[in-house]
């Protein structure tokens, strides 16, 4: 029985890792839904395992995509000064909260993520102004055959949003790429490709900041960590080798509706309507 459960976790990990690499998701959202709705373990344990999945997924993707030179390490570090404290506080808050509240927060995050995916909120606008902090960047765009230069708009708003993203990530166990990419792209006007690569860098660090809290509080299920991490690693390997990153608008919309559906499920679970 135990073995069958671990096998299922492993197989789902492959799926989440593969989809994560393909859709540019950390896989955290999929893992947390799987652990709470399918495996049906207590939400705090589910959050801890999901954070491990996010770290594995981000590290695997980072080892491949770092070569793309789209990652803006300076911008990532500036934003991390807010996401990391947020992620630590979020983890402590979550551990002090009853499971149902965590589930309600997760449902809200899914609602937000689903809505932004369906509406395809994305900005193509690029701003270029005086870059006093030196956090603007440039990258070579393969499709346009030219170098794209950009500066960072509305840093203060971005920092505040990053703090919130860190908090949320610490509470519900997602790396928060699904929140960080819109923050960078929509608020700070960083091109979508640079936002995605930079977010991947940040997601692993944010997840690790919360994971260490769950770990030292003994919430990490060591046995279940094995199939989770292995599944993600193999899934990420397959995903990055076989498929290039797809940014198909149809896929995004579909993903949005799936997230909205699961948001509803989580609200029902948090409200005690959905019990099994």
Query: Please, what is the minimum distance in Å from the beta carbon of residue 249 to other proteins?
Result: 30
Kindly indicate which of the ranges 39-47, 119-127, 157-165, 211-219 contains the residues binding other proteins, using the contact rule CB under 8 A: 211-219
For residues 129 and 69, the answer to whether their CB atoms sit within 8 Å is no
Nearest of 104, 95, 152 to residue 127 by alpha carbon: 152
Q: Which is nearer to other proteins, 85 or 264 (CB)?
A: 85
**Residue 106 in contact with other proteins, rule: CB under 8 A:** no
Verify binding: residue 215, other proteins, rule CB under 8 A: yes
Contact yes or no for 18/36 (Cβ under 8 A): no
Tell me which stretch binds other proteins (CB under 8 A): 7-15, 20-28, 224-232, 251-259: 224-232
Write down the least CB distance from residue 58 to other proteins, Å.
Answer: 7
User: What is d(CA 5, CA 157) in angstroms, rounded to the nearest whole number?
Assistant: 44
Decide whether 32 or 110 has the Cβ nearer to other proteins: 32
Helix (H, G, I), strand (E, B) or coil at 141: strand
The yes or no reply on residue 184 touching other proteins (CB under 8 A) is no
Q: How far is the CB of 212 from other proteins (least distance, A)?
A: 4
217 binds other proteins (CB under 8 A): yes
Min separation Cβ 221 and other proteins, Å: 10
Residue/partner pairs of 181-188 with CB below 8 Å, 24 or more apart:
181/24, 182/116, 182/121, 182/122, 183/158, 184/75, 184/79, 184/158, 185/122, 185/123, 186/121, 186/122, 186/123, 187/153, 187/154, 187/157, 187/158, 187/161, 188/152, 188/153, 188/154, 188/155, 188/157, 188/158
Q: Which of residues 37-66 bind other proteins (CB under 8 A)?
A: 52, 55-56, 58-60, 62-64, 66
- Token readout for 98 is 């009853």
Binding other proteins (rule: CB under 8 A), the pick from 163, 233, 259, 266 is 233
For other proteins, which stretch binds (CB under 8 A), given 80-88, 116-124, 157-165, 188-196? Answer: 80-88
Binding residues for other proteins, rule CB under 8 A, total 47
Residue in 247, 225, 252, 254 with CA at minimum distance from that of residue 9: 225
Angstrom distance (rounded) from CA 209 to CA 227 = 22
Phi, psi of 122 (to 5 degrees): -160, 145
Region 122-181 residues binding other proteins, contact defined as CB under 8 A:
134
Contact by Cβ (8 Å): 18, 236: yes
- Residues interacting with other proteins, by CB under 8 A? 52, 55-56, 58-60, 62-64, 66-67, 69, 73-74, 77-78, 80-81, 84-85, 87-88, 91-92, 95-96, 134, 201, 204-205, 207-209, 211-213, 215-217, 220, 222-223, 225-226, 229-230, 233
């Amino acid at each position: 029985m135990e073995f069958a459960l671990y096998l299922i976790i492993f197989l789902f990990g492959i799926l989440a890792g593969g989809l994560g690499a393909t859709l540019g998701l950390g896989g955290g959202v999929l893992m947390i839904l799987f652990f709470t709705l399918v495996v049906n373990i207590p939400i705090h344990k589910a959050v801890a395992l999901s954070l491990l999945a996010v770290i594995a997924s981000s590290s695997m993707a980072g080892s491949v995509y770092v070569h793309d030179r789209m990652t803006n390490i300076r911008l990532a570090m500036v934003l991390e000064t807010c996401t990391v404290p947020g992620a630590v506080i979020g983890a402590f808050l979550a551990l002090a909260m009853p499971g149902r509240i965590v589930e309600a927060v997760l449902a809200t995050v899914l609602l937000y993520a689903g809505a932004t995916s369906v509406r395809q909120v994305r900005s193509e606008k690029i701003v270029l102004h005086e870059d006093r902090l030196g956090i603007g960047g440039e990258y070579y765009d393969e499709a346009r055959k030219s170098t794209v230069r950009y500066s960072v708009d509305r840093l203060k708003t971005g920092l505040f949003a990053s703090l919130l993203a860190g908090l949320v990530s610490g509470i519900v166990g997602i790396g928060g790429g699904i929140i960080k990419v819109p923050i960078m792209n929509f608020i700070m006007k960083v091109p979508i490709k640079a936002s995605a690569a930079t977010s991947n860098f940040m997601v692993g660090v944010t997840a690790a900041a919360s994971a260490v809290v769950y770990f030292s509080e003994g919430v990490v299920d060591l046995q279940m960590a094995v199939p989770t991490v292995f599944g993600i690693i193999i899934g990420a390997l397959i995903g990055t080798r076989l498929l290039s990153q797809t940014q198909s608008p149809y896929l995004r919309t579909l993903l949005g509706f799936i997230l909205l559906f699961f948001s509803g499920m989580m609200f029902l679970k948090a409200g005690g309507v959905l019990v099994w």
